[in-house]
């Protein structure tokens, strides 16, 4: 269908239409071609026609692949371009924690019941809400239907967005929310706790019992849905998200990957020490955990449990999980991380991509080239530093970038 739409654009240009109008004609044809799939999904013809009439693509969105232009990245997604100190700002955490404590009381009845049935702490649900939309105060900037239609047409992940677009029409047809109210992020997440349409159908809960799953207006529905998504992704009741620890002086930061998992007690025997003299029970020490060092050997270190990675399924970013986990903790305790953040600069996405390609070329990195310095990238950098005789700190610095470029 996409190829036919592009051919239509070429024909339109040949017939005298401007490139812009030709592109719009191709987009319109592409959207029209989705009707059979929408019908199969349960979208009525009236809903399809109403919501697609006059629909235009938004070529200013990130993460698009436009012919004749460089592939766009996602510069607005702060999780992947900010250093931890900028993303997990103390002032923001303190403000949101204070508001979260107030909301714990306001929604105590609903939160208690959701926590009892799901095993997800009330503070974790609130922390997700706080991070995603500032407890509903943040107005999402985009029209969801337009975002999903554009991403389905020229996005980097067309096929998945094609389904999301159709499901957004299905939601509108059910009348739970109006088009005007269904605002989204540039990536197509909507509602108080930021769900894709498919997540709405897979994890949505009508907790307030009014016969509708309403994650846009009903706080109980939105929080219960967030909890249900975590449960469906493997949340373990009674397990913390992570433990902050002091790492031993000669820590091997290349071990900081999900595949290297040991019981917390074993990490402690190897020299990792819980901060502030925290004592861990025998049950806690038996829990498997992975080492997480968001700034390599600098800044705080954590032993991350299974629930850390469950939250990461909600948003695939270490900084996002750190924000949510720490905000959740701060609703119960005023203490910040025991070890301060150290890094002051994060390399640009394109520089991290250069690193990833270089690390892939020498067989040290096997994950996707995405310009995001996550756990796998940091560990691969550390392995490269070992082989090149550099200081092993597992942090994407300009020094290691120059070394990788020179090694071509």
Instruction: From residue 117, give the alpha-carbon distance in Å to each of 228, 237, 248.
Output: 10, 10, 40
- CA–CA distance, 138 with 358 (Å, rounded to integer): 40
Residue 210 lies in a domain: no
Residue 395 lies in a domain: yes
Distance in angstroms (rounded) separating the CA atoms of residues 149 and 168:
10
Integer Cα distance of 131 and 374 in angstroms: 20
Two tokens at 87? 């993303």
For 297, the domain range is 242-304
Cβ–Cβ < 8 Å for 62, 77: yes
Provide the token pair at 124.
């974790």
What are the pLDDT tens digits along the chain (408 aa)?
Answer: 445 555 444 444 444 444 445 558 999 999 999 999 999 999 999 999 999 999 999 999 988 988 766 555 544 444 446 789 999 999 999 999 999 999 999 999 999 999 999 999 999 999 999 999 999 999 999 999 999 999 999 998 999 999 999 999 999 999 999 999 999 999 999 999 999 999 999 999 999 999 999 999 999 999 999 999 999 999 999 999 999 999 999 999 999 999 999 999 999 999 999 999 999 999 999 999 999 999 999 999 999 999 999 999 999 889 999 999 999 999 999 999 999 999 767 788 889 999 999 999 999 999 989 888 899 999 999 999 999 999 999 999 999 999 999 987
At residue 109's C-alpha, the angle toward residues 104 and 110, to 5°, is 85
**Considering only CA atoms, which of 59, 69, 37 is closest in space to residue 163?**
37
The Cβ of residue 379 has, within 10 Å, a number of other Cβ atoms equal to 27
393 in a structural domain: yes
188 and 150 Cβ atoms separated by less than 8 Å? no
Residue 373 lies in a domain: yes
- Identify the DSSP state of 10: H
Give the single-character DSSP code of 107.
T
- Mapping DSSP to helix (H, G, I), strand (E, B) and coil, where does residue 62 land? coil
CA atoms within 13 A on the CB side of 121: 18
Under 8 Å CB-to-CB from 316, ≥6 apart: which residues?
Answer: 374
Give the tokens for residue 211. Answer: 């016969």
Q: What is the pLDDT of residues 136-145, one digit of tens each?
A: 999 999 999 9
| Residue 213 in domain | no
Q: Does residue 371 sit within a domain? A: yes
> Is residue 274 one of the residues assigned to a domain?
yes
Instruction: Please state the domain count of the chain.
Output: 2
Contact status, residue 28 vs residue 56, Cβ threshold 8 Å: no
- With contact defined as beta carbons under 8 Å apart, do 362 and 348 qualify? no
Within 8 A by CB and 6+ apart from 1, the residues are: 30, 33, 34
Write the DSSP assignment of 18-59 as a string of letters.
Answer: -HHHHHHHHHHHHHHTTHHHHHHHT--HHHHHHHHTT----T
Select from 223, 204, 58, 202 the least CA-distant residue to 133. 223
pTM of the complete model? 0.90
Q: Is residue 266 part of a domain?
A: yes
């Amino acid at each position: 269908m996409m190829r036919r739409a592009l051919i239509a654009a070429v024909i339109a240009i040949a017939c005298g239409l401007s490139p812009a109008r030709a592109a719009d004609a191709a987009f319109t044809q592409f959207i029209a071609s989705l009707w059979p799939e929408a019908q199969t999904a349960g979208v009525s013809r009236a809903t399809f026609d109403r919501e697609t009439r006059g629909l235009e693509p938004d070529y200013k969105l990130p993460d698009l692949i436009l012919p004749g232009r460089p592939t766009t990245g996602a510069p607005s997604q702060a999780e992947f371009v900010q250093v931890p100190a900028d993303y997990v700002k103390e002032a923001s955490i303190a403000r949101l924690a204070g508001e979260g404590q107030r909301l714990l009381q306001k929604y105590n009845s609903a939160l208690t019941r959701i926590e009892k049935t799901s095993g997800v702490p009330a503070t974790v649900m609130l922390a997700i809400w706080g991070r995603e939309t500032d407890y509903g105060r943040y107005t999402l900037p985009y029209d969801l239907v337009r975002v999903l239609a554009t991403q389905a047409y020229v996005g980097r992940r067309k096929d998945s967005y094609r389904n999301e677009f159709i499901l957004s029409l299905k939601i509108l047809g059910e009348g739970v929310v109006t088009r005007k109210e269904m605002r989204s992020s540039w990536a197509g997440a909507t509602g108080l706790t930021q769900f894709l349409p498919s997540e709405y159908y897979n994890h949505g809960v009508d907790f307030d019992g009014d016969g509708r799953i309403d994650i846009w207006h009903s706080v109980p529905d939105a929080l219960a849905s967030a909890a249900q998504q975590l449960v469906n992704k493997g949340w373990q009741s009674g397990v913390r998200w992570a433990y902050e620890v002091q790492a031993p002086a000669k820590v091997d930061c290349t071990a900081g990957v999900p595949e290297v998992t040991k019981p917390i007690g074993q990490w402690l025997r190897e020299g990792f020490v819980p901060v502030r003299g925290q004592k861990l029970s025998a049950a806690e020490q038996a829990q498997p955990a992975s080492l997480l060092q968001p700034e390599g050997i600098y800044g705080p270190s954590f032993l991350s449990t299974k629930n850390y990675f469950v939250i990461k399924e909600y948003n695939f970013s270490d900084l996002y999980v750190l924000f949510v986990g720490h905000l959740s903790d701060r609703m119960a305790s005023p203490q910040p991380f025991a070890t301060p953040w150290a890094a002051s600069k994060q390399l640009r996405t394109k520089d991290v991509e250069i690193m990833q390609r270089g690390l892939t070329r020498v067989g040290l990195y096997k994950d996707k080239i995405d310009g995001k310095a996550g756990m796998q990238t940091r560990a691969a950098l550390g392995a490269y530093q070992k082989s090149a005789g550099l200081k092993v700190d597992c942090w994407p610095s300009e020094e290691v970038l120059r070394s990788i470029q020179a090694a071509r």
